[in-house]
Amino acid sequence: MGKKPKRRVFRRPSPQQRTEDAARDRQRLDAAAQALLGAMPADQLAGELQAREWLLTEADRVAQLDPNPMNLSRYRYARSQYDVARAALALAARAS
């Protein structure tokens, strides 16, 4: 009879590491939102958010019907683009 396989050890990041990761993700989102604000007039952001929301909905539908790596990657990309547009709209509203 063979040896029993050892369990793989799962190491959870420390609370400080999770906080640092969240802060880094927030900085990336804010930088991308600032770039979008610089590339597009503030009055067109609502339309851009609506377009990206439609793309996210479509990517979600396709990924639900056929969850292959390509469709899931498209969904993650659409989600990040939607989050950037939403953050840019919030920044524009704060600046006004």
How far apart are alpha carbons 33 and 92 in whole angstroms? 10
Q: Which two tokens stand for residue 54?
A: 């439609």
Predicted confidence at residue 95, as pLDDT, reads 79
How far apart are alpha carbons 61 and 67 in whole angstroms? 10
Q: Which residues have a Cβ under 8 Å from the Cβ of 58 and sit 6 or more positions away?
A: 78
Segment among 40-44, 64-68, 83-87 with least mean pLDDT: 40-44
Q: Would you kindly state where each structural domain of the chain is located, as residue ranges?
A: 42-96
pTM of structure: 0.81
Predicted confidence at residue 4, as pLDDT, reads 82
How far apart are alpha carbons 8 and 15 in whole angstroms? 22
Query: At residue 2, does pLDDT exceed 80?
Result: no
Express each pLDDT in 27-41 by its tens digit.
999 999 999 999 999
Q: Which two tokens stand for residue 6?
A: 């050892």
Predicted confidence at residue 6, as pLDDT, reads 84
